[in-house]
Amino acid sequence: MRAPPPPPLLLLLLAACAPPPCGAAAPTPPGWEPAADAPWCPYKVLPEGPEAGGGRLCFRSPARGFRCQAPGCAAHASAGRSLRASVLRNRSVLLQWRLAPAEARRVRAFALNCSWRGAYTRFPCERVLLGASCRDYLLPDVHDGVRYRLCLQPLPLRAEPAAATVPEPAGSAECVEFAAEPASMREIVVAMTAVGGSICVMLVVICLLVAYITENLMHPAFGRPGLRRQP
């Protein structure tokens, strides 16, 4: 029996360049999203001051399939490219990070420190302790024009007391800085144009009203001259 002829080169090219089926999203880079068996991210927002106790345990669902697309989002990455902050136009910031599989197995939690730069110094804004399964965190509201600095530090697993001769050092922290941009100049121009147009329309109406009053009420009415009688 003869072997079937190989498929034409055109068909092979069409199969290779065919678009994904409807509803299929673009693949996410590996390591940026939590595992499929981690549907929740446990975290604690710690109170101010090192002597304060631990905060209340909370849970949030991870942001799967998130894409930062301009102009509604601006992305900022850390020096090591393993931490990124996506600043959205609604003044919220989605923080995402990734780890190598070998490093992820040695992590028990993540410590997130937030600070913002004032006129002369930096001020702390939020401290969060996140579970090992977390790969993102949402800051709900940031201020315009303020320079923020977010640092994420992996915390290693606690060694057994019998084998803990030397404590394992914590992982190096990755930091990212960003500033939420104020309203764009285009939005300001549009708003000013709308307000200016309303003012112009109102001035035109006032001018027409003044002209009508001046023409009909301010000047005395002159009667029509009477008909001259015939002698």
Looking at the structure, give the CATH architecture of the domain made up of residues 41-158+170-181: Sandwich (2.60)
- pLDDT tens for each residue of the chain, 231 residues long: 454 454 443 333 333 334 333 333 344 455 566 666 667 899 999 876 555 556 788 999 988 888 888 888 999 999 988 999 999 988 899 999 998 888 888 999 999 999 988 777 888 888 999 999 899 999 988 888 889 999 999 999 876 454 444 444 456 889 999 988 765 544 555 556 666 777 888 888 888 888 877 777 665 555 555 545 555
Residue 52 in tokens: 């304060």
* Spatial distance between the Cα atoms of 54 and 109, rounded to a whole number of angstroms: 14
Q: Parallel, antiparallel, or unpaired for β 83-88 and 73-77?
A: antiparallel
The pair of three-digit structure tokens given for residue 191, joined into one six-digit string = 């708003």
Entry pTM: 0.60
Positive or negative: CA dihedral 89, 63, 45, 97: negative
Decide if 25 contacts 54 (C-beta within 8 A). Answer: no
* Of 181, 7, 168, 172, residue with least CA distance to 88: 181
Structural domain spans, the chain: 41-158+170-181, 183-212
Interatomic CA distance for residues 84 and 32, integer angstroms? 10
